[in-house]
């Protein structure tokens, strides 16, 4: 099956700094990638959708200047949390879909835990 990885799996950063999370499709070309946020014991909320080579589309209420998404290649998307604050602490999950996949076939990464101190 298709594999999606995320790096790092856990990151701790100080308030005010920026942190980058990578999402890679290891064995397929991901034309579309999705970024989700999951607070403890809560559901996954879609933050943004990115298509390779295009600007990301953000969901309502998500600050695009705070959560910078880059999908520069068919195997890599990055999420940068800029000027992180403790309230940005959360679990971030990416998923990916290839061009030839059926619309419902999205493959999830293992997630990244961000802790802002």
Residues of this chain that interact with other proteins (CB under 8 A) are 32, 34, 38, 41-46, 49, 51, 57, 91, 93, 95, 103-104, 106, 108, 110-111
Tell me the HSE value of 49 on the side-chain side, using a 13 A CA sphere.
8
Of 68 and 91, the one with the shorter C-beta distance to other proteins is 91
Q: How far is the CB of 60 from other proteins (least distance, A)?
A: 11
Q: How far is the CB of 80 from other proteins (least distance, A)?
A: 21
Of 5 and 17, the one with the shorter C-beta distance to other proteins is 5
DSSP sequence for the chain: ---EEEE-SEEEE-TT--EEEEEEESSS-EEEEEEEEE-TTS-EEEEEEEETTS--EEPTT--TTTEEEEEEETTEEEEEE-S--GGG-EEEEEEEEETTS-TT--EE---EEEEE-
Q: How far is the CB of 110 from other proteins (least distance, A)?
A: 5
Of 19 and 48, the one with the shorter C-beta distance to other proteins is 48
Neighbours of 79 (CB within 10 A): 25
Q: How far is the CB of 81 from other proteins (least distance, A)?
A: 18
Of 5 and 83, the one with the shorter C-beta distance to other proteins is 5
């Amino acid at each position: 099956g298709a594999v999606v990885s995320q790096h790092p799996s856990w990151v701790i950063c100080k308030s005010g700094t920026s942190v980058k999370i990578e999402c890679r499709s290891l064995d397929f070309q991901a034309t579309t990638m999705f970024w989700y946020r999951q607070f403890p014991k809560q559901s996954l909320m879609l933050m943004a959708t990115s298509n390779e080579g295009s600007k990301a589309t953000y969901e309502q209420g998500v600050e695009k200047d705070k959560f910078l998404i880059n999908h520069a290649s068919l195997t890599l998307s990055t999420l940068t949390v800029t000027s992180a604050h403790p309230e940005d602490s959360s679990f971030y999950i990416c998923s990916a879909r290839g061009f030839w996949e059926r619309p419902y076939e999205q493959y999830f990464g293992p997630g990244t835990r961000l802790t802002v101190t």
